[in-house]
Amino acid sequence: MAKKIAILGTGGTIAGVGPAGGAGYTAAQLGVEQLVAQVPALARAAPGGLLLEQVAQVDSKDMTTVLWQRLAQRCLALMGDPQVGGIVVTHGTDTLEETAWVLHELLGQGKPVVLTCAMRPATALAPDGPQNLLDAVTLAAHPLARGVLAVVAGVVHGAREVTKAHPLRLDAFASNDAGPVGWVELGAVRWARVPAGDGTARHAALAARLPDAPWPRVEIVLSHAGADGAVVDWMVAGGVRGIVVAATGNGTLHEALAQALERAQAAGVAVRVATRCPLGRMQAPDGARWRDARGLSPVKARISLMLELMEAARAPGAA
Ligand code: SIN
């Protein structure tokens, strides 16, 4: 028997409202029921029915760890419900890749969790949200779909690769070197590579027991011409627990910034190095001074480091 697809609303432009056809709108205005009401074809895409839930209502630039926690815990509960076959999350485009990554790190490769969004508000002359929502439900109901995915403008992206690559166009997301996981075309999923489906999330143990407390403070610092590291000293004085440095090229850093990071590390701050290049994966040389970010972009590396620090705090013997 066909299973239900849960749709969790979190806001974004997909739920945005503005003057018909005009410029300017306010994100996160329509509830998930209103989004679903715009797409009668959802009944066909999810023959087992839909479960609708409003988890948040935000412009995703204002996403918080509290909302991530709420969303992850709702996803976990729904993944454990035998009547639910998959989950769709409607989200803003601006931090979609961050939410995709935090869910990937916490939930892993079980039932599909498909994020979608829109570049135009629901009141636009030709909104893109309804088609994206239909594609997301089609994908979440597909028997081979696993883990955290995103679908935008018909292109399916994996959580590790997905990145917002354009500020305006409808096809705003890219998977860069890895390429898309697949496409949703005319109501059918065409896979470029079928999701593996056997991986456990790195932080699965944390997912059910996320502390009801602020997540450890981790900041991102950019290495650039003229960087002097003063911002690092200031962060350390302010109690930062981790720093991800967006390095030039293959992980190179301005020497003044590197010296500030040495001081931070000596003071107990965890340091990770990611490249600021949008394509490729940096190869840290043997004997590198800092751990590299496992090929993650700086924003995703920041999430992983926050989770690592929380995990370490839970470990037996942790202070
Ligand atoms: C947001 O990220 O919530 C607003 C922008 C968008 O969805 O495109």
- The DSSP symbol for 125 reads S
CB 27 near ligand 1, within 6 Å: yes
Cα(197) to centroid(ligand 1), Å? 29
Q: What is the pLDDT of residue 317?
A: 58
For residues 178 and 263, membership in a common domain is answered with no
The helix (H) or strand (E) run that includes residue 270 is strand 270-275
The yes-or-no answer on residue 13 being catalytic is yes
Last residue of a domain, one of 191, 226, 260: 191
Domain-located, residue 140: yes
97 lines ligand 1 (CB under 6 A): no
**Do 163 and 266 belong together in one domain?**
no
Residue 96: closest CA among 136, 142, 143, 53: 136
Do 181 and 309 share a domain, yes or no? no
Domain of 59, in residue numbers: 4-191
Number of domains in the chain: 2
Q: Domain of 174: which CATH number? A: 3.40.50.1170
Same domain, residue pair 135 and 275: no
pTM (2 decimals)? Answer: 0.96
pLDDT digits (tens, 9 = 90+) for 250-264: 999 999 999 999 999
Predicted pLDDT at 318? 54
C-alpha–C-alpha distance, residues 73 and 83, integer Å: 17
pLDDT in tens, 82-126: 999 999 999 999 999 999 999 999 997 889 999 999 999 999 999
**pLDDT at 285 exceeding the cut of 80:** no
Q: HSE-up of 260 (CA within 13 Å, CB side)?
A: 22
For the purposes of burial, counting CB atoms within 10 Å of the CB of 316, is it exposed (0-12), middle (13-18) or buried (19 or more)?
A: exposed
13: Cβ below 6 Å to ligand 1? Answer: yes
Cα–Cα distances in angstroms (integers) from residue 187 to residues 6, 115, 223, 317, in the given order: 18, 17, 44, 52
In this structure, the answer to whether residues 253 and 109 fall within a common structural domain is no
Residue 119, ligand 1, Cβ within 6 A: yes
Task: Examine the domain organization and report whether 131 and 228 are in the same domain.
Answer: no
Cα of 13 from ligand 1 centre, angstroms: 5
Distance, in Å, from the CA atom of 247 to the CA atom of 298, rounded to the nearest integer, reads 9
